[in-house]
Amino acid sequence: MPFEPLNFVPLTLVFRILLLLVAVVAGIYDWKYRRIPNWLCLAGLVAGFSCHYYVGGLAGILVAAEGFGLAALIYFVLYLARAMGAGDVKLMAALGSIVGAMNWFLFFLASSILGAVAAIAMALAYGRFYSTLWNVGQIVKELTLFRAPYKRQPQLDLHHKNALRIPRGAVIAVTAVLLEVAGWL
């Protein structure tokens, strides 16, 4: 029996296609232009709520709203800490409306792990592994003290000129494809 995450709720074909379509288009766009377009996030959000309403009526709207709310809450906090861009927040909120809260949280965990692997690879490629580890330690320290890391150390700001930036949309797209291939969507 293949491994399945706890409380995994398999998505119907329509939701899997919608998730892959929005995530992959966002990933390609983010990789090429280093931004995620608002029109794509809005289209994903409207499609997520519409499909859930069509499938489940008002209960479906609640599923979409829970996924949207959880994603927006978590990613908005990361945005306030200047660890994510606004496009990433909007994309994940749209994807949350498509897959619902529990599936989005599992998707978030998988994309976080993949993002960490990509960040390590990038830090190694640029010869900045040890400075990146130091920065991570500083971020953890500041967050445990409930302070924004970039306020005391400007180099921890996502927009700092020396910051290594990974196109999160591309990481999110790869996550969606890998989860689909693994049969977890």
pLDDT in tens, the chain (185 residues): 454 444 456 789 999 999 999 999 999 999 999 999 999 999 999 999 999 999 999 999 999 999 999 999 999 988 988 888 999 999 999 999 999 999 999 999 999 999 999 999 999 999 989 988 888 888 888 888 888 888 777 777 777 787 778 899 999 999 999 999 998 87
Tell me what pLDDT residue 1 has: 46
Tell me what pLDDT residue 97 has: 97
Closest CA to 72 of 105, 34, 115: 105
- Report the distance separating Cα 174 and Cα 37, nearest Å: 18
- Report the distance separating Cα 79 and Cα 130, nearest Å: 25
Tell me what pLDDT residue 10 has: 76
Closest CA to 45 of 59, 61, 29, 33: 61
Tell me what pLDDT residue 15 has: 95
3-class state of residue 153 by DSSP? coil
Tell me what pLDDT residue 8 has: 55
Residues 6+ apart with CB under 8 A from 135: 153, 155, 156
Closest CA to 11 of 20, 3, 2: 20
Tell me what pLDDT residue 51 has: 96
Closest CA to 91 of 160, 26, 21, 153: 26
Tell me what pLDDT residue 4 has: 47
Tell me what pLDDT residue 2 has: 54
DSSP 84: S
